[in-house]
């Protein structure tokens, strides 16, 4: 079991700096099922310093989303995939905007 200070150090060293949207599980390398088309692009993300083994996102990235479904969010450090999280599905019958709020990276 790692001490909390070690968990905080590990999370902070990940350097998560951007997020992606996916229609299904993005897989081990994060590139599976990433949305594409229209004006979609990965967005910058900022995370606060880790506390108690968790780091909260401190901005609310807004994505231009083409027709489709958002089911997962991917977390990146540059071109390196770090993790993904399943989110409540949101279906877009027409192009729209998806705003990611309240994302947290954590280790336990």
pLDDT in tens, 64-103: 999 999 999 999 999 999 999 999 999 999 999 999 998 9
**Strands (DSSP E) found in the chain:** 18-22, 43-44, 54-56, 62-65, 68-77, 80-92, 96-99, 104-106
State pTM to two decimals.
0.93
Mean pLDDT of 1-30: 95
Residue 17: pLDDT over 80:
yes
């Amino acid at each position: 079991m790692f001490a909390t200070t070690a968990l905080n150090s590990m999370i902070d060293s990940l350097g998560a700096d951007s997020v992606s949207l996916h229609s299904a599980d993005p897989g081990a390398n994060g590139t599976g099922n990433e949305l594409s088309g229209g004006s979609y692009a990965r967005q910058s993300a900022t995370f606060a310093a880790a506390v108690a083994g968790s780091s909260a996102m401190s901005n609310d990235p807004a994505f231009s989303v083409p027709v489709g479904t958002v089911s997962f969010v991917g977390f990146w450090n540059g071109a390196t995939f770090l993790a993904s999280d399943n989110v409540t599905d949101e279906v877009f019958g027409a192009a729209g905007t998806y705003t990611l709020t309240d994302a947290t990276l954590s280790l336990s």
